[in-house]
Structure 1
Amino acid sequence: MGRNPFAFRTLQVTIFILVVYIALFATLLTFHNIVPPAPSNVTPSPGINLTEAWFDLKELSNGFRPYNSRRSDEVRDFLLLRIESILKRNNNLAASKDVVVYNDMTANLTYSNSDTTVYFEGTNIIVHVLGEEESDTSGVLVNAHYDSVSTGYGATDNGKGVISVTQLISHFTTPGNKPRRGIVFLLNNGEEDFLNGANAFMRHPISRYPHIFLNLEGAGAGGRAILFRSTDTEVTRFYKASRRPVGSALFGDGFNRGAIRSQTDYIVFNGRLGLRGLDVAYYEPRARYHTVEDSTKFDSVDSLWHMLSSSLSTVKAMTSDTGTEFDGEARDDGKVNSGKGSEGVYFDMFGRALAVFQLHTLFALSVTLLVVTPIVLIAIHIGLAKSGKWYLFARRKLVEIDGQEVQIDFLGWRGFFRYPVAFVVSSGAVVALAFLQTKVNPFIIYSSEYSVWAMFLSVWICFDWFICVGAYRMRPTALTRIYALIWTYIGAYILLVGATIGENNLKIASGYLFVFYFAAVFFALLISYLEMFALPSKETYTLGDKAPVDGEETDHRPSEENEEEPTERTSLLRGDRQGTYSGYAAHRQASEDHDATDEPENDGTAGKEGSHEQLWANSFPSWTWIFQFLLFAPINIILMGQIALVITTGLKQTPADGNPVLTIYLVIAAFTVLLLTPLKPFMHKIHGYVPIFLFLVLAGTLIYNLVAFPFSSQARLKFYFIQRVDLDSGLNSVTLAGLDGYVQSIISELPSASGQPLNCTSSPSRIGLTQCSFPGLPPNVAKGANPWLPPGVPPEYGYKDWLNYTVKAVKNESAAVFTISAANSRACRIDFARAISAVNVTGSDVDPRLPPVGDHGAKDVRLWHRTWEDPWEVAVRWKPGSQDENDEFGDGMEGRVVCLWSDANTAGVIPALEEIWRFAPAWAVVSKAADGLVEGSKAFVV
C-alpha cells in the first residue's frame, strides 16, 4: 500500500470502499431476512407465556374462519374460553370490578362503503381492563380481528395479532401489572369483508372510552411486524419503547397517497371514530398472504414474539402516560375528541432504535439546509478567491518571466463534465435493463429479487467505472472528487427542494431520506472546499520564489545551509523562478504525452503516480477522502438500503394482484442510483478487478433473469377463485383470475377443465389480470341440496332451494321491499342495475356518523347475519326513471339476488376448489376472489 495506508491510491481506496459496502450490505441483508429470536425463557414477562401463545395460534389457525363459516363460531367460543381461563388463572373473574368482558351479540349497523351499502351484525369480543387512574376519557384501545379469509388459515392474518391480544390481557390482569390507564381489548370479527367488525364496534357504548389505539394486523404471512402508519408524532413516541422497532414514515405516505391500496381497521378507528393511534402489521411474504400457506407451518415463534413484544412495550408506554395530551370529551359529530397531534416523521435504525420527530422540524431543517449551505459554500469561495487559491474553473494566466509573457494553464475545467455524462449513461443503462426485463421476463422479481438487485448494481458500476476511469486516464485531473460532489450537491439540492415542497404542501414525511442525503453530500463537499486552502496561491504557483509579498518582490529561496532535507511533503515549487516555470512546463508536456495505459494517481508525490495531474494539486492532503466517504456513504446506505429492501419485499409479489411490474423495476433502479452515488467521487480510483468481477455477475444475472421461470414452490404465483351458480338455470361456472398466460396454464392442469370451452377476458374487478371461466364441478354448499343429479333430471332441481326471496313493489313509488333467506349461509347481497338512493334493513341501528347510502347512491346492498338462515327484510328506493326514450327501466328496477357460501372446511362442499388444491402446479396457489367462494343468484324484476 505504500507508506501512507490512507493515501488516495487505487489499492487503499478499493479495499476501504469494498469493506464498507460489503459490511453494510451484509448487515442490511441479515437484519432484513432474520427475525429477531424469541427469548429462551417461556415466560419472558409476567403473564406472558410463549408456549401457550404458540399452541393457541395453532388452534386458532386449524381451519378457515371467515365470518360466513361455522368455524368462525367455534373460534369465537375458543377465544371466550381462553379469556375466561386467563382471568381465572390471574384471579380476575370477568364479573370483578377490575375486568369486564363484553360478549357483544347485539351491535349492528347499516353504512355506506363507496357505492356499496353494508348491513352487518357484529360478533365482537371486548375486554375492558380498568386502570388505577380510571377515567371516562383516557383509555387505550388494542385491536385485532379474529376472522380469516376463506382460503387462508390466517396464522399471520390475523392469528398472531389475536394471540398477542390474549397474551396482553394475561399480562395486564396478572397481579402487580394493573395499568395506570384503562385498556379496551377488541377482538373483532368481519375485518376481511369491508372492515365490518371495527365498524360494528362503533355501535358499542365503550367505543367512546378509548382515545388512542394500537391496531395489530397481518398483510403478509410472517417475518417482522412493522409500524406501517401513525396518526401523529406524539402517539408514535409510544412505539419507541418497543425492543425491536421497525418502521418508516414512507409507508404512511404510501397509504395516504394511494400507492398502497389495501386497508386495515386503522381507517375506522382514526377516520370514523376520531382516535389517534398506530397501525402495526406483518408485510411479507405477500405470496402466502390469503392462502393456505398462511399457517404455522411457514411461521415461527420468533415472528410471533416480534409483534407480541413490540405490542407489550408500546401498550405499557401508552397506559403509563398520565398527561392530558389525548384526553377529551365526545364531540357533537359523534367522534371522540382525542386532541390534535402534530404531523410526524419516524424511521428505525436496524430495528434497534426509532427516531421520531415532528414534520415541522423536518421542514425547518430542510429550509435551513437549502438556505445556509449555499451561503457557506459561497463564503468559502470568496475566501479562496481572495487568497488566490480558487483553481476551480480557472483556465490560464499570462505571467511575465524574464521579460517575456508566458501562458500558464491551470486546467481548472478539466473533469467538470465527466460526472453528468457518466451518471446519465450508467443510470440510463439501469433504466434500460428495467424496460428490457419488463419486456422479456417481467415476473422474475416475484421469486428472484436479489438477482435483479445484483444485475442493476453491477451494470451501474460497470458503466460508470468505464467512463470515469477512461476519462481520467486520458485527461487526469485532481478535481474529480470536488466536481463529482458539486454535481451531486446540485442534484441533491433539487431533490431536497421537491421534498421540502412535499413536506409543507402535501405533508409528506418520507422526505427525511433526502434531508440526510443532502446533508451528507454537503459536508463531503465542504471538505473538498476546505482542502483548497492547502494549495499554493496562483501567484506562488506561477512566479515561484519571486512571488510578491506585501507589494515587494522578494527572493524566498532558502540558503543552502538552511535548506531542509526534501520529503514527500516538500513543495515542488521551491527553487528559482525559472525552475518553477520549467517544472510547470515539464508537467504540461508530460500531461499531453502521457500514455493512456499509465495509471496516474495523486498522493502528493511528484514524478510518480499522480504526476500527470495539475502540478499545483500536489499540495492536496492525501487522506481527507476517507472522511468524505464516511460522511457521505454509510448513513445513506443504511437509510436507503433499509427502505429499498422493505419496498422490494413489499412490492415484488404484487403483480399477482394486477399491479404494474415496470413500476417495481423503476423503483429498484432509483434506489440503485441512490445507493451507489456515494461511489462517484472515488470511482476513478477503484481497481479494475472490481468491475471485471461485476461484469461477470452482470452477465450471469442478466441471462438468468431473462430466461428463468419466475415462480417456484417457495414463491408461488397467487391466483383467484370464484364459482358462480345461476340458480334459475342450474348452470355454474368457475372463474380463475390471474396473470395472462399463467392462469390458462393452471387451468390446463385441472381434469374437469379438459375439453371445456374457456372464456378469457380482462378482469373487471382486478385491473391488470385476466379471468377465465369454464363449467365447473357442481358445488354442494347448501343443506338438503343435491347437485349430483341423475341423468334426465332438470339441473335446476338441485339448486332451487338454496336461495329464496320475494320482492314487492311499493305502489305508486320507485321503491320495493325484499325478503331474502338462504340455506346454510348468513351472507347475501342484492345487485341493482342502477344505483338506489335509500336503504332500510329491518332491525338495523342508525349511526349518524355512517350514512347508509353514499352521495352517488348504492349499486349493491350486502347483508350479513350473525345467525344462520334467518331472513332479511330490505326496503330500497331509487330515483324515478329519466324521460329518455332509451331508458330501459323506466320507473322499475331489475337485478339479481345473490347469496354466498364461504366455508371450505368440509371435504366435498366445493369440489371445484378442492380440485385446484390437488392439481394446480406447485408454483401456483389459490386465493379467494370475492367475499364468497360460491355465489348463487336469481334474477328479479320490479
Structure 2
Amino acid sequence: MSELNESTPPATRGTASSSDGVASNHVAVVKGNNNSPNIFIRFIRAVFGYRKTSLTLFVILTIAFTILLSYIDNNLDLTVSLPTDRLEVDILDSSWLDLQNIAKHEHTYGSHANDRVHDYLQTRIRDIIKEKSYIEYENDLNGDNKILFKSASGEQTTISYYESNNLLVRINGTDKNLPALLLSAHYDSVPSSFGVTDDGMGIASLLGVLSYFSDKSTQRPKRTVIFNFNNDEEFGLYGATAFLSHPWFEQIKYFLNLEGTGAGGKAILFRGTDFGIVKYFKNVRYPYATSIFQEGFNNHLIHSETDYKIYKEMGGLRGLDLAFYKPRDIYHTASDSIKNNNIKSLWHMLSNSIDFSKFVAGQVIDLDNESADESEKSSQDFASYASFLNYFFSVPVSTLIVVNTSLLVLVPLISLALLLIIFKYKKTWQVTTVNVLKFPLAAIASGVVMNLLVSDGFQKLNQYLPTTYPLLLVYTSVAILLLLFYVFLNGINLLFRSQKVLNHDEKLIVIIEISLFYWIALVYISRSLSYNRIGNDHTGEFPITILFIVQSVAAFLGLLGWSFTTPQTTDEEASQPLLEGNQESYGTEDPDDLTPQSSLLGDEDGFKGLVKYLGYDWSLQFLIIVPLTSLIVYNSGWLVLDGVNKSIQESLAAENLIYKIIQLFAFFWVLPYLPFVFKLNRIIVWGLTLFAASGVVLISFLEPFNIANPLKLRFIQKVDLTQSEQDSIVQVFGREGIFYDILADIPSVKESKVSVACENIVDGNQVCSYKSTLQPEIIPGAKDFRDYLQIEIVEDSSSRLPYGLLYGEIIIKAPENRMCNLQFDKKASHSGRDKFKDSPAKTVIVFADEPKNVSSVAHNTRMLPEGFSRDEDGNYLFKDVAGIDNLYLNKLDWKKNFRIGIQWLPNIIDSPDDEINKLGISIECFWADMTPVDGGKESSSAIPAYRELLHYSPNYVSWANRDRGLFSVSTHVQV
C-alpha cells in the first residue's frame, strides 16, 4: 500500500494505520500554546505512536534485552558468588584441593591410578569424620559386595560381574524413623580424561557436604544422610548398582546424584523423579534448572546415562540429577582438566548440594508421611520446572494439565464472544479472505524456503559449523526469516491492493492466528502430558502454556478495543510496503502526525485523554507479547542448542536433529515479532539484509573447529591374537571425511610408510585404521602380545553327547588387568539361517577366588532358578533360558585370573558333526593405564601410540577413548 502524500488532510496524515492498530479510534489533540502539544506529549507520541521509528526502537531494545538477560542468567560469574562465611570458605578451599588431587591423573576403573584415588578418598573421609560417634564409614573392599546382574541392550542380553570398592559414609540422624537421604557421585574417570567435571567435582562436593555436617558448628541432622563415593560408573553404572545390594540401601527414600555430562560452567538440575522431590530444589541459593533437558534424557535424545537411572528405575528412590552439561566436545577428553575449570563451578555444585541436603535432612518433609497409595500416585506425577536469575519455578504435570485445559476452553469462548459483538453488533472490523490467509501462506512459504536454505544450504555448505558457531546460524536464520515474512506479507498486500478495505487491523489478525497456532500446540501437549511416560516425555514443553497466555491476552485487548469502537469512513492506510514512499515521520518533529482518534471507552480531552485513548494498543500488545515471548524462546532455545550442539560429532542423526533445532529456534524466536513486521523501519530492513548476507558469507568460510571447540576423535589400539600376524592396529572413530589427513600426518605413520584405511560405518561415522609401530608397554617384561592374554580351557564339550545342556570352563589369564568382555557366538549356519533364535549360552558361572566342588557347580544347575544366585562356596551364577549374548567381567585384584563356566545348548541343525557341541567365545580384555605398571616416570607412556596422537594432532583436535580401555587384546576359543 502506498504512503500518504502531502495532500493528505492533516486529520489523516500520520494516523496509526488501520492494519496495525485500532484505526477507527479518535482522540482529541491536547492543546497547548498555539494549539500544539507540549514537549512531553510530543515525546509520548514519538515513542508510543504506531510508527516505523517507534517500532524499530521497541524491536532493537527487545532483542538487546533478550540477549542480555539470557546471557546474565546463564553466566556463572554474574549469577554465582563465592562464599564469605568462614566455614564455607574453608570447605570450598579444601574441596578444591581435593579436586586437584583427585584429577592429578586419568583414573578409570581399569587403572592403578583409580586405586590411588580410592585410597586418597578413604584417608580424607576418615580424617573428616574422626571423633564423630554418630558417623560411620564402610569400605566395600571387605569383599562382600560382588554382584552378577543382567542388563538388556536392544536385542543383546548382557550379564555383568562386578567387584565393588565403593566408599560409604552414614551420618546417623537424630530421628531414626525418617527415611534416609542418599548423596552420590562416582570417582572413576574414563581412560582419556582427568575427570574434573565427570565426576571429580561431584566427589569434591560430597567431601564438602560431609565436611559441613561433620563440623562442630553444624547441628546434627534430623534425617540420616548416606554418602556413596562409588566406582566404575562410566562403563555400566556398576558402583550404583552394587550399592543396591548393600544393607544401608534399605534405609533410603531420597537421593541427590552429582554428575558431569559436559565439562564446566554451571551445574544444572536436568532430571527429577517427580514433583514431590523436585519442588525442594527451590531452597538452594543458586538454582539453575530446566525440564527441557529432562525431556531430552527421558526420550533418549542424549546418548549417555548417569547413576540417577539406577537409583530411580532399579532402586525405586525419589531424587534429583544435578550435573554439568557443557561443553560436550571436551567431555571425556584430556581437556576435562583443572586448567579448563574453576573454583566457582565447584562452588555452584557444592553450595547447591549443601543447601538441598541441609533442608531435606534437617526436617520432616511432606513425602515422609505419604501412604503407599499417595506415594505411588505422587511418584507418577512428573514435574515441569525452570529457573531464571536464581529463581526456581516448578509445577506438577497434573496441575499443568488442569491449567492448560482451562485455557483451551476459556480463551476460545471469550474470543468468540468478542468476535460476535464486533461482527454482529458493532460491525466495525472488516476482515477479508486475503487478510486471513496471507499470514498462513507466508508462514508456509517462508518455512519451505528456510528449510531448503538451512538443510540444503547451510548444512551442506559447512556441515559441522554448529559445534562452534550455533548462534551464528540462528541469528542468520532469524534475519532471513524476518525478511521472508516481510517480503511475502507485503508482497501479498501489493498484489491485492485493489481489495483493500477499511479497518482490517492486520496486526490483530496475525496475533489471533499465532494464538490459534499455540492453541493447537497446547492441545497436543496437554494430551501428551496426560499420558506422560519415559520415552514419550513432554515435561519440557510447559513454556508453550506461557506463550499461549501472553498471545491470548494481546488478542483479547485487540478484540476488546474493536468491541468498543464506533464505525468510521476515513480511508486510512492499512499496510503500506516498508520500503515504499518517503513521507515517514520521525521523532517529535511532526506535531500533527497523530490524528484525533476515539478511545476504547469514549471521548475525552486533555492529557488524560492522550494517555488513555491515543490508540496505542499496539504498544500494549507489543509489550505483552514480544519481550516475554522473546526471552522465553531465546533462553530455552539457547539452552537446548548449547546442550546438544556438540553432539553433531556423534552421528548423522544428531546432526540432522541439531539443524532442525536451529530452524525451530529461529522460527519461534521470530514468531512474536511477526504481527508488527508490516511496520518495520526501512533502516532495520536494510540492516537485516546486510546482517543476513554477512551471516551467509561467514557460514561459508568459518572453520567449524578451533582450540576452544575442538574436533572430537575416539581412540583404541587393538591386537587380535587369532590373526597370523599379530600386529597392533590403531583405530580412530569420528564423523566421516574429516580426519584422514590428521592421521596421515602423524610421524610414526609417515616414517613406517603404513597406509591409513578408512571405512564408513553406521550413521555418518567413520573408522580409520593403521598398523602402529608403537607398541604398548603396560606389562613389565612382556615379550609379545600373547603375554597379555592367554586362555586355558579347563573343560570342553568334546567328550559329551549332544543332548541337554553342555558345559565348558575356561581360565582367562590377563596380567595387570581388571576388565574383560566375553561374547558368545551366534552366527549363520551353512544353510544361511540363524542357528538359534536366541543365544545358545544359558548359564554363566563366575567362580570364587578358590573354587570348591567345581564339578558339582558345573553339572548340577538344572534345577537352578532363572536369574542370579550364589552357591554355598561363593560362586556366582546367572541363568537365563532365553539366552545370554555377552558376559562383562570386572575385578579388583590385578593378579587374579577369571575362571568362567558356561552352559549352552548344542546345535544339532545344519552343523558339521565336529561343531555340534562347540560353543565359540570371543574374548577381549582391556587396559587403560597411562603410565607403565612398573612405576616408570610419569613422563613415560604405557600406550605411546595414544600419546603420539595427543602430542602431534592439531590444536583443534581432542581425544577420547572408544571403549573401556585404550588398548585391548582379543582372541577366540571354542569349548
- TM-score normalised by the chain length of structure 2: 0.82
Relative to structure 1, the CA distance from residue 694 to residue 200 in structure 2 (aligned partners, 3 Å threshold; closer, same or farther) is same
Looking at structure 1, the residues matched to 576 and 198 of structure 2 have their Cα atoms a distance apart, in angstroms, of: 69
Q: Provide the secondary structure at the position in 2 that maps to 1:193.
A: coil
Query: Which of these residues, 441, 445, 448, is aligned with residue 425 of structure 1?
Result: 445
Query: Which of these residues, 260, 263, 266, is aligned with residue 224 of structure 1?
Result: 266
Q: Once structures 1 and 2 are overlaid, which stretch shifts more, 845-854 or 489-498?
A: 845-854
Which residue does 1:790 correspond to in 2? Answer: none
Letter of the structure 2 residue corresponding to residue 524 of structure 1: A
Which residue does 1:84 correspond to in 2? Answer: 126
Relative to structure 1, the CA distance from residue 54 to residue 871 in structure 2 (aligned partners, 3 Å threshold; closer, same or farther) is same
- Structure 2 counterparts to residues 300-319 of structure 1, below 5 A: 300-319=342-361
Report the alpha carbon displacement of residue 61 of structure 1 after superposing the two structures with TM.
0.4
Which residue does 1:363 correspond to in 2? Answer: 401
Q: Once structures 1 and 2 are overlaid, which stretch shifts more, 384-393 or 721-730?
A: 384-393
Q: Do 2:418 and 2:563's aligned partners in 1 also have CA atoms closer than 8 Å?
A: no
Which residue does 1:890 correspond to in 2? Answer: 916
Report the alpha carbon displacement of residue 79 of structure 1 after superposing the two structures with TM.
0.6
Relative to structure 1, the CA distance from residue 698 to residue 734 in structure 2 (aligned partners, 3 Å threshold; closer, same or farther) is same
Which residue does 1:520 correspond to in 2? Answer: 550
Looking at structure 2, the residues matched to 701 and 593 of structure 1 have their Cα atoms a distance apart, in angstroms, of: 25
Report the alpha carbon displacement of residue 42 of structure 1 after superposing the two structures with TM.
6.0
Note the residue ranges of structure 2 that are not aligned, 5 or more in a row. Answer: 1-41, 604-612, 827-838, 852-866, 871-875, 933-939
Q: Provide the secondary structure at the position in 2 that maps to 1:279.
A: strand
Q: Provide the secondary structure at the position in 2 that maps to 1:366.
A: helix
Question: In the alignment, is residue 174 of structure 1 matched against residue 212 of structure 2?
Answer: no
Which residue does 2:191 correspond to in 1? Answer: 150
Looking at structure 2, the residues matched to 848 and 303 of structure 1 have their Cα atoms a distance apart, in angstroms, of: 44
Which residue does 1:500 correspond to in 2? Answer: 526
Which residue does 1:867 correspond to in 2? Answer: 893
The count of corresponding residues between Structure 1 and Structure 2 is 855
Question: In the alignment, is residue 455 of structure 1 matched against residue 476 of structure 2?
Answer: yes
Looking at structure 1, the residues matched to 946 and 97 of structure 2 have their Cα atoms a distance apart, in angstroms, of: 28
- Structure 2 counterparts to residues 30-179 of structure 1, below 5 A: 30-36=72-78, 39-41=81-83, 43=85, 45=87, 49-88=91-130, 91-92=131-132, 96-106=133-143, 107-114=145-152, 115-135=157-177, 138-175=179-216, 176-179=218-221
Q: Do 2:740 and 2:768's aligned partners in 1 also have CA atoms closer than 8 Å?
A: yes
Which residue does 1:645 correspond to in 2? Answer: 638
Q: Provide the secondary structure at the position in 1 that maps to 2:674.
A: helix
Q: Once structures 1 and 2 are overlaid, which stretch shifts more, 509-518 or 421-430?
A: 421-430
- Structure 2 counterparts to residues 709-724 of structure 1, below 5 A: 709-724=703-718
Report the alpha carbon displacement of residue 887 of structure 1 after superposing the two structures with TM.
10
Letter of the structure 1 residue corresponding to residue 796 of structure 2: A
Question: In the alignment, is residue 843 of structure 1 matched against residue 848 of structure 2?
Answer: yes
Which residue does 1:409 correspond to in 2? Answer: none
Q: Do 1:120 and 1:196's aligned partners in 2 also have CA atoms closer than 8 Å?
A: yes
Looking at structure 1, the residues matched to 127 and 278 of structure 2 have their Cα atoms a distance apart, in angstroms, of: 33
Question: In the alignment, is residue 910 of structure 1 matched against residue 946 of structure 2?
Answer: no
Q: Once structures 1 and 2 are overlaid, which stretch shifts more, 889-898 or 224-233?
A: 889-898
Which residue does 1:760 correspond to in 2? Answer: 758
Q: Once structures 1 and 2 are overlaid, which stretch shifts more, 243-252 or 35-44?
A: 35-44
Report the alpha carbon displacement of residue 770 of structure 1 after superposing the two structures with TM.
0.3
Relative to structure 1, the CA distance from residue 51 to residue 626 in structure 2 (aligned partners, 3 Å threshold; closer, same or farther) is same
Q: Do 2:649 and 2:655's aligned partners in 1 also have CA atoms closer than 8 Å?
A: no
Question: In the alignment, is residue 533 of structure 1 matched against residue 563 of structure 2?
Answer: yes
Report the alpha carbon displacement of residue 856 of structure 1 after superposing the two structures with TM.
4.8
Report the alpha carbon displacement of residue 275 of structure 1 after superposing the two structures with TM.
0.7
Report the alpha carbon displacement of residue 324 of structure 1 after superposing the two structures with TM.
5.8
Which residue does 1:686 correspond to in 2? Answer: 680
Q: Provide the secondary structure at the position in 1 that maps to 2:715.
A: strand
| Per-residue deviation, residues 877-922 of structure 1 (Å, max 9, x unmatched) | 2232152358995331113222211111342311110110111111
Report the alpha carbon displacement of residue 351 of structure 1 after superposing the two structures with TM.
3.9
Looking at structure 2, the residues matched to 35 and 338 of structure 1 have their Cα atoms a distance apart, in angstroms, of: 41
Q: Once structures 1 and 2 are overlaid, which stretch shifts more, 911-920 or 477-486?
A: 477-486
Looking at structure 1, the residues matched to 669 and 565 of structure 2 have their Cα atoms a distance apart, in angstroms, of: 32
- Structure 2 counterparts to residues 292-691 of structure 1, below 5 A: 292-323=334-365, 325-326=367-368, 340-393=378-431, 415-435=435-455, 436-470=457-491, 478-507=504-533, 508-536=538-566, 538=567, 541=568, 587=571, 596-597=580-581, 621-658=614-651, 659-691=653-685
Q: Provide the secondary structure at the position in 2 that maps to 1:745.
A: helix
Relative to structure 1, the CA distance from residue 365 to residue 324 in structure 2 (aligned partners, 3 Å threshold; closer, same or farther) is closer
Letter of the structure 2 residue corresponding to residue 361 of structure 1: T
Q: Once structures 1 and 2 are overlaid, which stretch shifts more, 283-292 or 38-47?
A: 38-47
| Per-residue deviation, residues 611-646 of structure 1 (Å, max 9, x unmatched) | 9999x9999852111221222123322322222111
Letter of the structure 1 residue corresponding to residue 215 of structure 2: T
Q: Do 1:116 and 1:853's aligned partners in 2 also have CA atoms closer than 8 Å?
A: no
Which residue does 1:558 correspond to in 2? Answer: none
Letter of the structure 1 residue corresponding to residue 769 of structure 2: S
- Structure 2 counterparts to residues 170-319 of structure 1, below 5 A: 170-175=211-216, 176-319=218-361
Q: Do 1:188 and 1:198's aligned partners in 2 also have CA atoms closer than 8 Å?
A: yes
Letter of the structure 2 residue corresponding to residue 143 of structure 1: S
Q: Provide the secondary structure at the position in 1 that maps to 2:53.
A: helix
Percent sequence identity over matched residues?
Answer: 24
Letter of the structure 1 residue corresponding to residue 208 of structure 2: Q
Report the alpha carbon displacement of residue 863 of structure 1 after superposing the two structures with TM.
0.8
Q: Do 1:117 and 1:853's aligned partners in 2 also have CA atoms closer than 8 Å?
A: no
Q: Do 1:602 and 1:613's aligned partners in 2 also have CA atoms closer than 8 Å?
A: no
Looking at structure 2, the residues matched to 265 and 418 of structure 1 have their Cα atoms a distance apart, in angstroms, of: 52
Higher relative contact order (CA 8 A, sep 6+): 2
Which residue does 2:745 correspond to in 1? Answer: 749
Relative to structure 1, the CA distance from residue 222 to residue 422 in structure 2 (aligned partners, 3 Å threshold; closer, same or farther) is same
Question: In the alignment, is residue 702 of structure 1 matched against residue 696 of structure 2?
Answer: yes
Q: Provide the secondary structure at the position in 2 that maps to 1:649.
A: helix
Report the alpha carbon displacement of residue 527 of structure 1 after superposing the two structures with TM.
0.7
Query: Which of these residues, 774, 779, 794, is aligned with residue 775 of structure 2?
Result: 779
| Per-residue deviation, residues 676-731 of structure 1 (Å, max 9, x unmatched) | 21111111112111121122111112111122221111111111111111235422
Letter of the structure 2 residue corresponding to residue 628 of structure 1: Q
Question: In the alignment, is residue 809 of structure 1 matched against residue 850 of structure 2?
Answer: no
Relative to structure 1, the CA distance from residue 739 to residue 632 in structure 2 (aligned partners, 3 Å threshold; closer, same or farther) is same
Looking at structure 2, the residues matched to 152 and 30 of structure 1 have their Cα atoms a distance apart, in angstroms, of: 30
Looking at structure 2, the residues matched to 915 and 592 of structure 1 have their Cα atoms a distance apart, in angstroms, of: 66
Letter of the structure 1 residue corresponding to residue 760 of structure 2: S
Q: Provide the secondary structure at the position in 2 that maps to 1:179.
A: coil
Looking at structure 1, the residues matched to 434 and 756 of structure 2 have their Cα atoms a distance apart, in angstroms, of: 66
Note the residue ranges of structure 1 that are not aligned, 5 or more in a row. Answer: 332-336, 394-411, 542-582, 788-796
Looking at structure 1, the residues matched to 913 and 409 of structure 2 have their Cα atoms a distance apart, in angstroms, of: 63
Q: Provide the secondary structure at the position in 2 that maps to 1:387.
A: helix
Report the alpha carbon displacement of residue 191 of structure 1 after superposing the two structures with TM.
0.2
Report the alpha carbon displacement of residue 389 of structure 1 after superposing the two structures with TM.
3.3
| Per-residue deviation, residues 418-468 of structure 1 (Å, max 9, x unmatched) | 322332333333322221111121101111122112211111122222334
Looking at structure 2, the residues matched to 588 and 47 of structure 1 have their Cα atoms a distance apart, in angstroms, of: 68
Looking at structure 1, the residues matched to 928 and 369 of structure 2 have their Cα atoms a distance apart, in angstroms, of: 42
RMSD of the TM alignment (CA)?
3.4
Letter of the structure 2 residue corresponding to residue 165 of structure 1: L
Looking at structure 2, the residues matched to 669 and 276 of structure 1 have their Cα atoms a distance apart, in angstroms, of: 36
